């Protein structure tokens, strides 16, 4: 399977992520909404680091900045660091069981939440660390079907 066969599903997933990211949620649930772009970036970098590496992570971060209306570069930096972490541990992570990958995503989402908190504190924005644990759990649960879907593309490649 060449990269053209993975590009269409990736674009479709990014469009679905955009719709889910823009879906309105109000009140206390707002801080528990997963970053769907982050989850897609994790899945594709995890399974295809040679095709979708740090550049893809940075572009996904840029797309997130544009969709969420945040400062350009805010999510680019955070997603690039997350992509580097995934690429660094790629050789180990691909052999993990599903539950271990879910725990990895949980920890990475919490790390991203803390990186966002640091960035917010540097920009003198309010910190929202309430519910970070629940955000990690919800994100990890949302990541399970995404992992299954991207792993099918990975298995068809081999």
What are the tokens at 104?
């990895």
109, 140 Cβ separation under 8 angstroms: yes
Which residue range(s) make up the domain with 114?
A: 3-19+33-157
* pLDDT given for residue 149 in this prediction: 92
Domain-embedded: residue 101: yes
* pLDDT given for residue 158 in this prediction: 65
How many structural domains comprise the chain?
A: 1
Distance of CA 109 to the CA centre of its chain: 8
Domain-embedded: residue 27: no
* pLDDT given for residue 39 in this prediction: 96
What are the tokens at 126?
């309010």
Quick one: how many helices (H) and strands (E) in the chain? 7, 0
Query: pLDDT below 70 — which residues of the chain?
Result: 1-4, 27-31, 158
How far is it, in rounded angstroms, from Cα 14 to Cα 59? 11
What are the tokens at 59?
């572009």
Domain-embedded: residue 15: yes
What are the tokens at 153?
């593309």
What letter does residue 52 receive in the DSSP assignment? S
* pLDDT given for residue 30 in this prediction: 65
Domain-embedded: residue 38: yes
Domain-embedded: residue 142: yes
Distance of CA 134 to the CA centre of its chain: 16
How far is it, in rounded angstroms, from Cα 3 to Cα 143? 22
Domain-embedded: residue 26: no
Domain-embedded: residue 25: no
């Amino acid at each position: 399977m060449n990269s053209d066969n993975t590009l269409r599903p990736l674009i479709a997933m990014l469009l679905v992520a955009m719709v889910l990211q823009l879906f309105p949620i109000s009140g206390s649930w707002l801080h528990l909404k997963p970053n769907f772009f982050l989850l897609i970036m994790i899945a594709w970098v995890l399974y295809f680091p040679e095709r979708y590496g740090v550049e893809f992570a940075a572009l996904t971060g840029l797309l997130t900045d544009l969709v969420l209306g945040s400062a350009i570069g805010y999510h680019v930096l955070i997603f690039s660091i997350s992509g580097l972490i995934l690429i660094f541990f790629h050789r180990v992570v691909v052999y993990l069981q599903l539950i271990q990958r879910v725990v990895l995503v949980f920890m990475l989402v919490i790390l991203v939440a803390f990186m966002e908190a640091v960035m917010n504190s540097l920009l003198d924005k309010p910190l929202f660390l309430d519910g970070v644990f629940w955000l990690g759990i919800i994100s990890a649960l949302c990541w399970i079907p995404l992992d299954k879907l991207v792993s099918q593309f990975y298995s068809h490649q081999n």
